[in-house]
Structure 1
Amino acid sequence: MHVPDGFINAPVSVAAGVAAAGAVAVSLRGARRELDERTAPLAGLMAAFIFAVQMLNFPVAAGTSGHLLGGALAAILVGPYTGVLCVTVVLLMQGILFADGGLTALGVNVLDMGVTTTVVAYVVFRVLMRALPRRRSTVTVASFVAALVSVPAAAVVFTLIYWIGGTTDISIGKVFTAMVGIHVLIGIGEAVITAATVGAVIAVRPDLVHGAKGFANPLKLRVDGQLIDAAPAAPAKAAPKSAVAVASRSTRGLLAAGLLTALALAGFVSYYASSSPDGLEKVAADKGIDRNVEEHASADSPLADYGVKDVDDARLSGGLAGVIGVGVTVVVGGTVFWAIRRRRDDGGDRTAGPAAAPLSEKV
């Protein structure tokens, strides 16, 4: 759903850029409360993983494909504020290095693919977590539904922006119907990827899943035939150094496995991705909203269109571009989130409270 240059007029693009900058500023402050020494590296990896999976277009209908947007996945794993920043980093890398998503439309893309998907998904996720039975499987189910809803929500927001500032005179009703219809199907793919990823992480390290923190069943005691909540336990003693070392090795192992997975997806599996246009490209071509599309400012980039310039072998060219993209994204994202964490550690955010309790193993 990367909006190219020329779809939206200059005044609305500028307004969207200002709004996106404001959302990023709020997210930078909010991320200080979400990130610590364990989750900051995970956030950098999250950005790289989203970049990699976005290269894997999957078929959703005749002549149409879709790809992960990633807002729901990032919000649930690393938090909504950090999630906005993750998707923003990905969009920056794609726009600057790979000529994917217009540079003048960057604000539109951040609002649509970053802010909308993240906020909508996290709100739906939290509501479901409160409403559904308190079990570990609830996290996966809520992730599926939240991701499913977030994609057509982004399609609605794009349609609204196009209605205000579109550069072609097209029936907005037809655009709305086509965008929402195709992105409901894409949302199913998004939901499957999100739920599978969240489920995999929560199976091995539930304490690293932001959306699962504090989600624990209270201990029940049977008194006179009735179950009642037990009194809260006394605060646990500090974990021994050996336990801390084991947890640290486990975190490093998870990060290494995640990075290798992202590299494999971008460097190898992406070759087999669907070549059909994605949902927005298909609607734009069918409805004529791409009449004024402009050439990307980075069209001459050595990595434009996810290929390495002057490398003739398509498999090698795309694979190298994917690996470079993952590497650059994890470095840039990791640097950003490390800096945010350092600012918190240095006292830059006095409002940061203690971390929430991790998901109980009994959930």
Structure 2
Amino acid sequence: MLSFIQFSRLPTYLALHIPDGFLSLPVSLFCWIIALVLIAVSLKRVQKDYQERTVPLMGVCAAFIFAAQMINFPIPGGTSGHLLGGTLAGILLGPWAGTLVMTVVFIVQAVLFQDGGLTVLGANIVNMGLLGTFCGYYLYKSIRVTLGRQSWNSMAIATAIASWFSVVIAAVMTAFQLALSETVPLTLALIAMVSWHLVIGVGEAIITLIAISFIWRSRPDLLYDPPHSLKFNPDARS
């Protein structure tokens, strides 16, 4: 059984960007398989459904999310959180293109900044790229359809809830991966991960809502029905 001191230290390393050595080989390989399949399918879907002029928009989105992740916000316990961006990418680009954007961001972070391990990169892509982007996007879309697609209030509520939920669901998946790898007992992993990311999710919701609000003011049509928003007329004005 972990001591109180060990438990109190769990959140300092049980982050969504899993470092090397925290997952077992079977868990890492399984996540790599899912990640590679996801990337392959996403590439095919983007090539099929999107036009070439959307590629620069994907690059701009990736650059913005990467830069925004450099901004950390403090949370209780002496640590900090930062934007993940999966829901933001999904809202702007759709889940398939959004997943590719997030994958690129994770690769750059792991290679250049050692933010997350290379051997467990597949798990980080699954947790924050697959779950974070897809769950965030479809929850956002469902809420907006329910409350009214062209209402600012529905956009704000959907963005905040989906962004927050995407962080929490990624934390839950990370906890299960750590428990399956016998790194940390499941109960302690869930308590540490979820309790911490319930707070981090609030920061994610605020930052995502601010970013989406700027776009809403100038081009609300881009937020009505992604991913088809990528096929907009650049000369159009709302």
TM-score by length of 1: 0.57
1:29 to 2:44 alignment: yes
Q: Which amino acid aligns with 2:189?
A: V
* Greater CA drift, 93-102 or 35-44: 35-44
Superposition pairs for residues 216-235 of structure 1, below 5 Å?
A: none
Q: In the alignment, does 2:153 pair up with 1:165?
A: no
Matches within 5 A, 1:1-363: 1-137=16-152, 138-166=154-182, 168=183, 170-209=184-223, 211=225, 247=235
- The one-letter code matched in structure 2 to 1:111 is V
Q: CA deviation at 1:62?
A: 2.7
Kindly indicate whether the alpha-carbon contact (under 8 Å) linking 1:147 and 1:187 is maintained by their aligned counterparts in 2.
yes
CA gap 1:156/1:201 in 2 versus in 1, 3 angstroms: same
The one-letter amino acid paired with 1:78 is: L
Structure 1: distance between partners of 2:197 and 2:49: 30
Report deviation, 1:130.
1.6
1:76–1:210 Cα contact (<8 Å) kept:
no
Residues 1:187 and 1:162: Cα distance change in structure 2 (over 3 Å): same
Change (3 A) 1:122 1:213: closer
Distance 1:98 1:213 in 2: 31
The sequence identity of aligned pairs, in percent, is 41
Q: CA RMSD in A?
A: 2.1
Q: Any conservation in 2 of the 1:207–1:213 contact (CA below 8 Å)?
A: no
**Aligned residues of 2:18 and 2:124 also touching (Cα < 8 A):** yes
TM-score by length of 2: 0.85
Residue 247 of structure 1 aligns to a residue whose secondary structure is coil
**2:77, 2:173 → 1: CA distance?**
24
Residue 134 of structure 1, CA deviation: 3.9
8 Å CA contact 1:34–1:82 kept in 2: the answer is no
Partner amino acid, structure 2, of 1:208:
L
Do 2:95 and 2:227's aligned partners in 1 also have CA atoms closer than 8 Å?
no
| Counterpart residue identity of residue 89, structure 1 | V
5+ residue gaps, structure 2, are: 1-15
- Unmatched 5+ residue regions in structure 1? 216-243, 251-360
Higher relative contact order (CA 8 A, sep 6+): 1
- Using the TM superposition, give the Cα deviation of residue 213 of structure 1 relative to its aligned residue in structure 2, in angstroms: 7.2
Distance 1:209 1:43, change over 3 A: farther
CA–CA distance in structure 2, aligned partners of residues 160 and 247 of structure 1: 47
Question: In terms of mean alpha carbon deviation, does 179-188 or 36-45 score higher?
Answer: 36-45
Q: Deviations over 1:254-274 (max 9, x none)?
A: xxxxxxxxxxxxxxxxxxxxx
The separation in 1 between residues aligned to 2:108 and 2:168, in whole angstroms, is: 24
Q: Which moved more, 1:76-85 or 1:205-214?
A: 205-214
Q: Secondary structure at the match of 1:104?
A: coil
Q: Specify whether residues 31 and 209 from structure 1 end up closer, same or farther in structure 2 by C-alpha distance, changes over 3 A only.
A: farther
